[in-house]
Amino acid sequence: MVDIVAGTQWGDEGKGKVVDYLATEADMVIRGQGGANAGHTVERDGRVFKLHAIPSGIFNPETTCIIGNGCVVNPVGVETEIRELQKVGINTSKLIISPLAHLVMPYHVLFDMLDEKRRMGNGKEIGSTHQGIAWCYADKANRSGFRVEEVLDLGQFSNHISQELEWINDRLSLYGHSGLSLSQIMDEIEGACRFIAPHVMNPIELIHTAVSGSKQILLEGQLGLMRDLNEGAYPFVTSSCPSPAGIIAGAGISPLEIIEIYGVMKAYTTAVGAGPFPTELRDQIGEQLRTSGNEYGATTGRKRRCGWLDIVALKYAMMVGGFTSLIMTKLDILSQLDEIKICIAYKYRDSILASYPTTDLLGKVEPEYETLPGWKEDITGATSMDELPEAARSYIDHIEQLLGVPIVIVTNGAHRDKIILRK
C-alpha cells in the first residue's frame, strides 16, 4: 500500500503536519526529492520541529524513514537535524540515507550565493535559499557530482574531490572567487560524513520487500507542484520535481504500486521568493494572513507572500498531479475575515484565458474573483465538520466542486490534533 503526500501550490502547504499524522499508521516514510531548501514544520508536545531533510515520519518510533535516491543531502545539515532530534529524545535509529542520493558540497552553497548575487545585479534573482540545491542537481545532471556512498570511504572521497578541484575552482574564478582548498572542503564536511555514515544503506530491496509484504508506505514530497522543474513557473522553480511523478521516480517505486495521491493545499495561497503571483495581497488582509498564519519560511525565515486561493493554478495542479484526494490546511486562518475571495479565472487584455499561461503571461494576468461570505468565529475547537460554521462548510464544499477532487481532511490549527476527518 503506497500513498503519496504532495504539495499542490507553491510549497509551504502544511505537508509536514499531514505526514506526521498519516505516519502514525505508516511502516515507512520516504522523501523522494529535494533537499534542505524547504522545511516541514511539525508541532508536537508543545515543541515546534522544523525538518529540512529528515522525513516527517521520524516521530513515530516504529516507522522507517528514508532519505531517498532522488534527494540531495548536506551532511552537515543532516547531522544537525539528527542531533537536535536526539537531544529531545526522538529515536533516529530507523533513519536510512540512500547511498544513491547526491551530496551537497560546500562549493555548491558558495556557487549558489555568488550566482544569486550576480542575478540580483541584473534584476533577475530567483529567490534562492542559498542551500546549494540547484548546483548540486546541476553537477548530478552533468555527471560530476558526488553521491552519498562516498562517505563510506573518506580517503577515496578526498581523492575524488582533489581530481575535480581544479575544475571547481576554475568555475569559482568566474565569480571573482579565489577558490577552495581540499583541506577547507574536508574540514567542513568530514566530521558530518563520519556521523551520517552508519545511516547509509541502499534502501531499494528494503522498500520492495515492504511493498510486496503489503506494508503501509508513505511518499513525502517537498515544496509544491507549482515549483516543479518541468511543470512549474520556470525559472521560479526548484531544481527537482515535486510533482507526484517526480516523487515516485526519486523513491524508486513503480507507479503501479500507488494507491492514493493526497494533494495538500492551504485554504489560501502563499509563495516565497520571486516570480509571478496573480492573487497576491499587498494590503492589510495580506498582512493579516501572514501574521495569523505565521507565514515565514521554515528554512530562511523570509516573509511568505500571501494571497487569495487560486483555483486556476489548483486546477492545473490537479490535471498534472493526478491527485485522488485533497487535504485543506489552515482553514482557521480565514476566520478573521468578513468575506473571502477565490480566483476563478485569469483575464488578459479583456479576455478570459482558456488555459494555464506561460510564466511571462502569468505575470501579466488579472485575477477574476468570486466572493464568498466569511465566518468571524474561532473554529480551532471544532472536531467534526458539523461543528464548523455554515459559511466554512460552504467554502470547503464550493472549492471541492470547482476542483472536482474530494477534500477528505481539513486542519483547523497548528497542533497535530487539530485535524477534522471529512470523508
Per-position DSSP letters for 209-264, written without gaps between them:
HHHHTT--EEEEEEEEGGG-TTTSSTTSS-SS--SHHHHHHHHT--GGGEEEEEEE
CA 23 – CA 59 distance, rounded (Å): 8
Which of 217, 240, 218, 216 is closest to 11 using CA atoms?
240
| Closest-CA residue to 367 (of 386, 385, 341, 394) | 341
Distance CA 103, CA 197 (A): 12
Query: Tell me, what's the pLDDT at 416?
Result: 79
**Inside any domain, residue 116:** yes
Is there a contact between 329 and 309 (Cβ–Cβ < 8 Å)? no
pLDDT of the residue at 302? 79
Beta strands in 268-389 (DSSP E): 269-271, 305-307, 309-310, 325-329, 339-348, 351-352, 366-373
**Cα-to-chain-centroid distance, residue 40:** 7
Q: Are residues 157 and 27 in the same domain?
A: no
Could you list the pLDDT tens digit for every one of the 423 residues in the chain?
Answer: 899 999 999 999 998 889 888 888 899 999 999 988 776 777 777 777 788 899 988 988 999 999 999 999 999 999 999 999 999 999 999 999 999 999 999 999 998 888 877 766 665 666 667 788 999 999 999 999 999 999 999 999 999 999 999 999 999 999 989 999 999 999 999 999 999 999 999 999 999 999 999 999 999 999 999 999 999 999 999 999 999 999 999 999 999 999 999 999 999 999 988 899 999 999 999 999 999 998 887 666 778 999 999 999 999 999 999 999 999 999 999 998 999 999 999 999 999 998 899 999 999 999 999 999 999 999 999 999 999 999 999 999 999 999 999 999 999 998 878 999 987
Question: Is 92 within a domain?
Answer: no
Cα 62 from chain centroid (whole Å): 24
Show the beta-strand stretches assigned E in 243-365. Answer: 258-266, 269-271, 305-307, 309-310, 325-329, 339-348, 351-352
The pLDDT, as a whole number, for residue 283 is 94
Is the domain of 136 the same as that of 52? no
CA angle 375, 380, 384 (to 5 degrees): 90
Is there a single domain that holds both residue 186 and residue 323?
no
Residues 113 and 75 in one domain: no
| Number of structural domains found in the chain | 2
Residues 169 and 278 in one domain: no
Residues 47 and 182 in one domain: no
What residues make up the domain containing 159? 102-199
**Cα 42–chain centre separation:** 13
Cis omega (within 30 of 0) on the bond before 75? no
What is the C-alpha to C-alpha distance for residues 243 and 322, in angstroms, rounded to an integer?
9
CATH number at residue 184: 1.10.300.10
CA-based nearest residue to 222, from 243, 245, 199: 243
Q: Distance between CA 33 and CA 224 in Å, rounded?
A: 11
Label residue 46 left, alpha or beta by phi (over 0 means left) and psi (-120 to 50 means alpha). left
CATH assignment of the domain containing 294: 3.90.170.10
Give per-residue burial for 87-106: e unless 16+ CB within 10 Å, then b.
Answer: eeebebebbbbbbbbbbbbb
Burial of 405 (0-12, 13-18, 19+ CB in 10 A): buried
Domain edge (last residue) among 176, 199, 222: 199
CA 295 to chain centre: 15
Active site residues: 12, 40
| Residue 140 located in a structural domain | yes
| The overall pTM is greater than 0.85 | yes
Specify whether the CB–CB gap between 38 and 7 falls below 8 A: no
Place of cell 516543479: 228
Binning the chain into helix, strand and coil, the percentages to the nearest 5 are 40, 25, 40
